[in-house]
Structure 1
């Protein structure tokens, strides 16, 4: 999955979803992949995740290499736009 993907979209889900998303963020952090993970924040689902990650950053726990590994998009249309932008260089 990771080798064939250009980025990773994360919809609301359970611990399996979170596990896979954090694995992709970890891979970005340690240099195995430079593909972003995009959380689609349907109805504010990922708000607590964002607070947790901001808390980790504030405490100095996150390494600088993790910057750019993930972002949160407000809804599905924003995610589709992000995917289109990411794939646009390929189409040219």
Structure 2
């Protein structure tokens, strides 16, 4: 799993979590953690088809409300409720990335 996640990280411009199981959740949480720690600024998107990820989003809100996620730490998760919204949301995130964001170069934005 570690080798797979390393390859995924090295070759990805963004991360999309489709509805899935424990492995999907583990991969997603690792990317969110790395994003929080400043290891990357690549977009992370939940394909929240039929509200699949709502329990996770509620848990993250609960963690923030109970201060287990510090106010100074962001949890930047894009969402798409429909499959056809995934690419437009990622493209918009790439277009709105701050100037000089290494993880979202113009080349990466074009590839999205």
TM-score by length of 1: 0.84
> In the alignment, what sits opposite 1:19?
26
**Structure 2 unaligned spans of 5+:** 1-7, 96-105
**Structure 1 unaligned spans of 5+:** none
Q: Radius of gyration: which is bigger?
A: 2
Higher RCO (C-alpha under 8 Å, 6+ residues apart): 1
1:42-73: per-residue Cα shift (whole Å, max 9, x none)? 111011011001101111111323332x2322
Indicate if the aligned counterparts of 2:43 and 2:93 stay in contact, CA closer than 8 A.
no
| CA–CA distance in structure 1, aligned partners of residues 90 and 20 of structure 2 | 20
CA RMSD between the two structures: 1.7
| CA–CA distance in structure 2, aligned partners of residues 24 and 16 of structure 1 | 13
TM-score by length of 2: 0.71
Count of residue pairs the alignment pairs up: 90
